[in-house]
């Protein structure tokens, strides 16, 4: 599903991602863990196509389609979704307007045509119910004045509405207390399925108690330096990143 091969990314002339290779098959959830500055956020921004995060070498494909040459909205239309570490506030734009615009843009790009106002409302209400979110959230401007938990729940709601093929969760646990974390993880788990892949990027093991990964990769100095099962996350939690990093230097 997601195949990254020998990816290199420079930011302001400094190499951040340095020959990263990673494959996430459909139906699997992989975690990428790493210390601060290891390139976690750079990886998610590069995959999503943010300006200034261009690959200098290597490839990244989703379902066989080359991602790196596409605009962010084209990647979204292909089914790539990034749940932001810091969801952005858009004052004055009601959440309902935002998700409707996004959903219709994605549907149009996929040749599915826009949803009627009624069908859209039905869909939104169904998803809100699934996730136990109050419709009032969508009447407020996007993320404006939201608590950390509300922002992350809003990300999960958008994910559920857009039904992406592949989800990247960038440090979704940051800024969440344990109750909020459970709710968000619960929403993410409902999205798991045989057709969908996920990449969960996190610094701490805590999130992986609630979103159980199939595989765990350790990112350090811009490369995957170790891959293992869920037990690897526990090991990192216990021993810290020191041992793994020492291995890289050697």
Partner 1 sequence: MSATAETVADVERLNEKYKYGFVTDIEAENAPKGLSEDTVRFISAKKNEPEWLLEWRLEAYRRWLEMKEPDWGKLGYPPIDYQDAYYYSAPKSNENAPESLDDVDPELLRTYEKLGIPLREQEMLAGVKNIAVDVVFDSVSVATTFKKKLAEAGVIFSSISEAIQEHPELVRKYMGAVVPRDDNYFAALNSAVFTDGSFVYIPKGVKCPMELSTYFRINAENTGQFERTLIIAEEGSYVSYLEGCTAPMRDENQLHAAVVELVTHADAEIKYSTVQNWYPGDENGVGGIYNFVTKRALCAGDRSKVSWTQVETGSAITWKYPSCILQGDDSQGEFYSVAIANNMQQADTGTKMIHLGKRTRSRIISKGISAGNAQNSYRGLVKMLPTAEKARNYTQCDSLLIGDQCGAHTFPYIESQNRSARVEHEATTSKISEDQLFYCRQRGIGEEEAVALVVNGFCREVLQQLPMEFAVEAQKLVSISLEGSVG
Q: Which residues bind partner 1 (CB under 8 A)?
A: 48-51, 71-73, 75-77, 81-82, 84, 87-93, 97-98, 101-103, 105-106, 109, 141, 158, 162
Q: How far is the CB of 93 from partner 1 (least distance, A)?
A: 4
Q: Which is nearer to partner 1, 162 or 216 (CB)?
A: 162
In Å, what is the CA distance from 212 to each residue of 26, 36, 198? 16, 22, 11
Q: How far is the CB of 92 from partner 1 (least distance, A)?
A: 3
Q: Which is nearer to partner 1, 112 or 135 (CB)?
A: 112
Residue 54 to residue 165: CA distance in whole angstroms: 23
Q: How far is the CB of 90 from partner 1 (least distance, A)?
A: 6
Beta-carbon contacts of residue 206 (< 8 Å; ≥ 6 apart)? 173, 181
Residue 39 to residue 126: CA distance in whole angstroms: 37
Q: Which is nearer to partner 1, 139 or 182 (CB)?
A: 139
Partners of residue 226 on adjacent β-strands = 218
Of 50, 17, 51, the closest CA to residue 34 belongs to: 17
Q: Which is nearer to partner 1, 38 or 44 (CB)?
A: 44
Q: Which is nearer to partner 1, 9 or 48 (CB)?
A: 48
Q: How far is the CB of 142 from partner 1 (least distance, A)?
A: 8
Q: How far is the CB of 13 from partner 1 (least distance, A)?
A: 20
Partners of residue 141 on adjacent β-strands = 94
Buried b (16+ CB within 10 A) or exposed e, 188-212: beebeeeebbbbbbbbebebbbbbe
Q: How far is the CB of 82 from partner 1 (least distance, A)?
A: 5
Q: How far is the CB of 202 from partner 1 (least distance, A)?
A: 19
Buried b (16+ CB within 10 A) or exposed e, 120-142: beebbeebbeebebeeebbebbb
> Could you write out the DSSP letters of every residue in 33-95?
E--TTSSHHHHHHHHHT-TT--EEEEEEEETTEE-TTS-HHHHHHHTEEEE-SSPPPEEEEEH
The Cβ of residue 68 has, within 10 Å, a number of other Cβ atoms equal to 17
Q: Which is nearer to partner 1, 146 or 241 (CB)?
A: 146
The tokens describing 120, both together, are 């859209």
Q: Which is nearer to partner 1, 27 or 148 (CB)?
A: 148
């Amino acid at each position: 599903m997601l195949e990254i091969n020998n990816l290199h990314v420079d930011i302001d002339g400094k190499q951040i991602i340095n020959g990263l290779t990673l494959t996430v098959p459909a139906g699997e959830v992989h975690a990428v863990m790493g210390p601060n500055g290891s390139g976690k956020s750079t990886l998610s921004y590069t995959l999503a196509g943010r300006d200034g995060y261009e690959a200098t070498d290597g490839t990244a494909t989703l379902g066989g389609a080359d991602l790196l040459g596409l605009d962010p909205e084209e990647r979204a239309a292909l089914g790539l979704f990034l749940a932001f570490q810091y969801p952005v506030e858009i004052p004055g734009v009601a959440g309902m307007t935002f998700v409707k615009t996004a959903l219709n843009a994605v549907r149009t790009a996929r040749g599915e045509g826009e949803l009627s106002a009624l069908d859209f409302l039905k869909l939104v209400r169904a998803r809100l119910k699934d996730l136990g979110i109050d419709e009032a959230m969508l009447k407020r401007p996007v993320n404006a004045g939201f608590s950390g938990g509300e922002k992350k729940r809003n990300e999960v709601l958008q994910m559920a509405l857009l039904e992406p093929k592949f989800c990247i969760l960038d440090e979704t646990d940051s800024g969440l207390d344990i109750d909020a974390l459970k709710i968000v993880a619960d929403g993410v788990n409902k999205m798991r399925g045989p057709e969908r892949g996920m990449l969960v990027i996190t610094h701490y093991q805590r999130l992986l108690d609630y979103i159980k990964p199939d595989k765990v990769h350790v990112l350090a100095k811009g490369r995957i330096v170790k891959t293992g099962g869920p037990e690897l996350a526990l090991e990192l939690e216990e021993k810290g990143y020191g041992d793994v990093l020492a291995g890289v230097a050697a």
